[in-house]
Amino acid sequence: MVNKAVIGGFSAILLVAAVIGVVALVTRSPSGGGASNYSPAAAQLTATSKSVSALCAPTVYKDACASTLTGAINDSSTPGDIIRAAVNVITGEVRIAYGKTLDLSSQAKGSIDVDGFAFCKQLLGDAGDQLGAVIAEADDGSRLDDFQAWLSMVISYRTNCLASIESKDLNAQMTAALQNTTQLADNAIAIISAVGKLAGELNLNFNNTAGFSVTGRRLASTGYPSWIRGADRKLLSSSRVIPPSARPNAVVAKDGSGQFKSINAALNAMPETYRGRYVIYVKAGVYSEQVNVDKQKTNLLIYGDGPRKTIVTGRLNNAEGVGTYRTATFAVQAPGFIARSIGFANTAGPQGHQAVALRLNADAAIIYNCRIDGFQDSFYTQTGRHFVRNSVISGTVDFIFGDSQVVIQNSLIILRRPMDNQENTVTAQGKDSPTELAGIVLQNCRIVPDLRLFPDRFTIPNYLGRPWKKFSTTVVMESTIGDLIRPEGWMPWDGDFALDTLYYAEYNNRGPGSPTNRRVQWRGFHVINRNQAVSWTAGVLLKGKEWIPYAGIPNSLNLMK
């Protein structure tokens, strides 16, 4: 193995050369001839200032990037050192923002804002966890995709925090407190991307002990999902795929035939230090309880007897003064979660306004053969990477919303009848930063009205989505779109807000609601081709090859046709 000191001595040279080369790919000569501005002499640049300049070139907030890296890295810095430098500074800003949350929460008066600040505290704690994970794993080049996903979660925490505070004054103060956190996290994503491109440009190996080594090969893949820690991988070596018939660790049954009569009781009994996949089987029945899978309960599989037989239900709602995040009937904070053959419902009705059935604030979460039933805000796909397959999702206003990376595949999307003065929107995606990795994808789904909406489907407006935040990103592809969807397809949020900066795309859809010739004329709307659509598949967007197949469910990581 190459000595670390030797690697460190010229890693900065390689870094400058490769990053400048990457930047040059999109920096063409004034003549337009496509010639790169990079010359071989750039490979000899070793000054730290040059390294910082090159690393910051792809970032949006360049001044903040320069302040972050100058003095924190030098000519002998390894890629792991650079990642730690980019992330360490964010942790300080998160602490400052948390302190501001404590100050402002004492000024909150309404129950919504009280809930909102409680949510902000939780999210900033989650941000600290994500940042700590990146710092701890910074030398592992196989996890660059994870790092970017976790940092995107940090940005989305800001979005979700602010959306929970109604007071304009308190919201403005919290927005200012979170500004640095957002910009630095956005920069860190770009910096990590540059480091990843370096490996590709120079065919280098990102090594745990020696930074980059010029070996011309990649480290062997362990074949396990990236969210499973090293110690757990050994324990899972003989049981990576968990079928629904797997012997459960706990059985829940309302009739007393199991070990527990409630899901919460089974979760409370789950060992804090359990290693491997923990399995809870919930027998048929309607369970009226609010469930929260906290972040310590990782790698949980919960399954039932079918989404119409095993149902978790609740009716908490915003109209009765409950913060949106706290209305969730079932909430998940822990990574590696799998739900199959179970139903999640919020029965507050359209008059309840925001009323969540399922909320996922978790990375590498899978929902299979489930139902998510509600009205407004049914499915809060909050943060992290999520894969939904062979499921039913129903609702009215913004009923699939959040700021995650989610692919919903082979599923039935049902629009219900809203209140008379409302318009239906399937999605409301919340990407609020240009570099953040986030987006909602509907692939090979069917978008249809329910029986109560059907007679009025042409008089009640129905749309594929509207932009919750400035860079809202949604793709509908290879899906059947019913005739209820208006010809323009998409609905504005407020005037011309986000219409130039959003990314809405359609590809190879079918059905009476699929023609795109009368779609909105926004700059951000696109009809994409096959090559472009590939980037929105589960294999690419979610890096699904690394974790989805291990859930033991049907899946497609590519396009269907």
Radius of gyration of the chain (CA): 24
User: Kindly report the CA angle at 135 between 130 and 138, in degrees rounded to 5?
Assistant: 115
Find, among 486, 491, 421, the residue nearest to 449 by Cα. 486
Distance CA 400, CA 527 (A): 21
398 is catalytic: yes
Q: Which amino acid is at 61?
A: Y
Q: Is the C-alpha dihedral spanning 181, 187, 190, 192 positive or negative?
A: negative
Find, among 490, 492, 536, the residue nearest to 513 by Cα. 490
Find, among 483, 520, 486, the residue nearest to 505 by Cα. 520
Torsion angles phi and psi, residue 267, rounded to 5: -65, -40
Q: In what order do the strands lie in the sheet with 397-402?
A: 291-293, 330-332, 358-361, 379-383, 397-402, 424-429, 462-465
Evaluate whether 425 touches 463 at the Cβ level (below 8 Å): yes
**Marked catalytic residue, from 146, 186, 232, 398:** 398
SS3 state of residue 392: strand
SS3 state of residue 260: strand
Which two tokens mark 152?
Answer: 């995107």
Evaluate whether 498 touches 473 at the Cβ level (below 8 Å): no
Distance CA 184, CA 36 (A): 29
Q: Tell me the catalytic residues.
A: 398
